[in-house]
A and B are shown apart, each in its own frame.
Chain A
Amino acid sequence: MAECHPVGFQWVMEAKERGATIIHVDPRFTRTSALADVHVPLRAGTDIAFLGALVNHVLSTGKDFREYVVAYTNAPAILRQDFADTEDLDGLFSGFDPESHHYETTTWMYEGADASAAAGARDRWPASGGEGEQDVAARQHGGRELRDTARAESYGAGGAALGGKPALDPTLQHPRCVYQVLKRHFARYTPELVEDVCGVSRELFARVADAITANSGRERTTALCYSVGWTQHTVGVQYIRTASILQALLGNIGRPGGGILALRGHASIQGSTDVPTLFDLLPGYIPMPHAHQHQDLDAFVAADAGTTGFWGNMRAYVVSLLKAWWGEAATQENDYRFDWLPRLTGDHGTYRTVLNQLSGECKGYFLVGENPAVGSANAKLQRLGLANLDWLVVRDLRMIESATFWKDGPEIETGELRTEEIPTEVFFLPAAAHTEKDGSFTNTQRLLQWHHAAITPPGDARSDLWFYYHLGRIIREKLAGSTDPRDRPLLDLTWDYPTEGPLAEPSADAVLAEINGHGPDGQPLSTSTQLRDDGSTACGVWIYCGVRAHGHNQAANRRPRHEQSRVAPDWGWAWPANRRILYNRASADPDGRPWSERKRYVWWDAEQGRWTGDDVPDFEADKPPGYRPPPGAKAQDALAGTDPFIMQSDGRAWLFAPAGLADGPLPAHYEPYESPVDNPLYGQQTNPALQAHDRPANRYHPAGNQVYPYAFTTYRLTEHHTAGAMSRTLPYLSELQPEFFCEVSPELAAERGLEHLGWATITTARTAVEARVLVTDRMKPLRVRGRTIHQVGLPYHWGPEGLSTGDAANELLSVVLDPNVRIQESKAATCDIRPDRRPRGPALLAHVAAYRRRAGLPDDTPPTTGEGRP
Chain B
Amino acid sequence: MGLRQWIDGWPVYRQLTGDDALGRGSAARSRGTERLSARTEQADRVVRSVCPYCAVGCGQKVYVKDEKVTQIEGDPDSPISRGRLCPKGAASKQLVTGPGRISTVLHRPAHATGWERIPLDRAMDMIADRVIRTRRESWQDTHRGVPVRRTLGIASLGGATLDNEENYLMKKLYTALGAIQIENQARI
Q: Which of B54, B95, B123, B144 contacts A429 (CB 8 A)?
A: B123
In the complex, A561 has a CB within 8 A of chain B: yes
Q: Is the CB of A719 within 8 A of B88?
A: yes
Alpha-carbon distance A111/B81, docked complex (angstroms): 48
A562 CB contacts on chain B under 8 angstroms: 77
Residue of B nearest to A399 (CB): B102
Q: How far is the CB of A679 from chain B (nearest CB, A)?
A: 27
Q: How far is the CB of A724 from chain B (nearest CB, A)?
A: 12
In the complex, B34 has a CB within 8 A of chain A: no
In the complex, B27 has a CB within 8 A of chain A: no
Residue of A nearest to B128 (CB): A474
Q: Is the CB of A264 within 8 A of B120?
A: no
Alpha-carbon distance A486/B147, docked complex (angstroms): 12
Alpha-carbon distance A477/B113, docked complex (angstroms): 33
B115 CB contacts on chain A under 8 angstroms: 428
Contact flags B64-101 to A (C-beta < 8 A → 1, else 0): 10011100100011111110111111011011101111
Q: How far is the CB of A19 from chain B (nearest CB, A)?
A: 21
In the complex, B25 has a CB within 8 A of chain A: no
Q: How far is the CB of A570 from chain B (nearest CB, A)?
A: 9
Alpha-carbon distance A851/B82, docked complex (angstroms): 52
A449 CB contacts on chain B under 8 angstroms: 50, 57, 59
Near B by CB (< 8 A), chain A positions 189-226 give none
Q: Is the CB of A342 within 8 A of B148?
A: yes
Contact flags A552-581 to B (C-beta < 8 A → 1, else 0): 000010111110101010011000000000
In the complex, B6 has a CB within 8 A of chain A: no
B171 CB contacts on chain A under 8 angstroms: 275-277, 282-283
Alpha-carbon distance A464/B52, docked complex (angstroms): 15
B127 CB contacts on chain A under 8 angstroms: 391, 393, 427, 471
Alpha-carbon distance A803/B89, docked complex (angstroms): 18
Q: How far is the CB of B178 from chain A (nearest CB, A)?
A: 4
Count contacts on B: residues with CB < 8 A to the other chain.
118
Q: Is the CB of B69 within 8 A of A435?
A: yes
Q: Which of A453-461, A605-613, A783-791 contacts B (4 or more CB under 8 A)?
A: A453-461
Count contacts on A: residues with CB < 8 A to the other chain.
162
Q: Which of B50, B72, B180 contacts A279 (CB 8 A)?
A: B180
Q: Is the CB of A721 within 8 A of B53?
A: yes
Alpha-carbon distance A7/B57, docked complex (angstroms): 9
A340 CB contacts on chain B under 8 angstroms: 149, 176
A468 CB contacts on chain B under 8 angstroms: 166, 169-170, 173
Residue of B nearest to A288 (CB): B180
B149 CB contacts on chain A under 8 angstroms: 339-343, 486, 489
Q: Is the CB of A541 within 8 A of B105?
A: no
In the complex, B26 has a CB within 8 A of chain A: no
B138 CB contacts on chain A under 8 angstroms: 361, 363
Q: Is the CB of A730 within 8 A of B128?
A: no
Q: Is the CB of B86 within 8 A of A343?
A: no
In the complex, A753 has a CB within 8 A of chain B: no
In the complex, A37 has a CB within 8 A of chain B: no
Residue of B nearest to A269 (CB): B160
Q: Is the CB of A341 within 8 A of B48?
A: no
Q: Is the CB of A265 within 8 A of B54?
A: yes
Q: Is the CB of A277 within 8 A of B173?
A: no
In the complex, A508 has a CB within 8 A of chain B: yes
Q: Do A486 and B139 contact each other (CB < 8 Å), given the known contacts A278-B184, A427-B107, A429-B123? A: yes
Alpha-carbon distance A38/B180, docked complex (angstroms): 46
Alpha-carbon distance A274/B186, docked complex (angstroms): 10
Q: Is the CB of A350 within 8 A of B101?
A: no
Q: Which of B152, B159, B175 contacts A369 (CB 8 A)?
A: B159
Contact flags B26-59 to A (C-beta < 8 A → 1, else 0): 0000000000000000000101111111111111
Q: Which of A436-444, A594-602, A628-636, A668-676 contacts B (4 or more CB under 8 A)?
A: A436-444
Alpha-carbon distance A437/B144, docked complex (angstroms): 45
Alpha-carbon distance A370/B158, docked complex (angstroms): 5
A344 CB contacts on chain B under 8 angstroms: 180
In the complex, A4 has a CB within 8 A of chain B: yes
Contact flags A711-739 to B (C-beta < 8 A → 1, else 0): 00000001111100011011111001000
In the complex, A356 has a CB within 8 A of chain B: yes
Q: Which of A441, A452, A471, A729 contacts B100 (CB 8 A)?
A: A729
Alpha-carbon distance A533/B128, docked complex (angstroms): 35
A398 CB contacts on chain B under 8 angstroms: 100-102
In the complex, A268 has a CB within 8 A of chain B: yes
A844 CB contacts on chain B under 8 angstroms: none
Q: Do A264 and B187 contact each other (CB < 8 Å), given the known contacts A343-B149, A364-B154? A: no
Q: Is the CB of B64 within 8 A of A455?
A: yes
In the complex, B21 has a CB within 8 A of chain A: no
Contact flags B129-140 to A (C-beta < 8 A → 1, else 0): 111101001110
In the complex, A406 has a CB within 8 A of chain B: yes
Alpha-carbon distance A512/B143, docked complex (angstroms): 35
Q: Which of A270, A419, A454 contacts B64 (CB 8 A)?
A: A454
Q: Is the CB of B50 within 8 A of A441?
A: yes
Q: Which of A369, A453, A514 contacts B162 (CB 8 A)?
A: A369
Contact flags B172-188 to A (C-beta < 8 A → 1, else 0): 11111111111111111
Q: How far is the CB of B158 from chain A (nearest CB, A)?
A: 4
Alpha-carbon distance A139/B141, docked complex (angstroms): 25
Q: Is the CB of A541 within 8 A of B168?
A: yes
In the complex, B5 has a CB within 8 A of chain A: no
Q: How far is the CB of A256 from chain B (nearest CB, A)?
A: 15
Q: Is the CB of A444 within 8 A of B57?
A: yes
Q: Could you give 13 example pairs across A and B, Cβ below 8 Å?
A: A350-B187, A356-B152, A364-B134, A406-B108, A425-B107, A428-B102, A444-B56, A455-B67, A464-B162, A468-B170, A489-B176, A719-B88, A721-B88
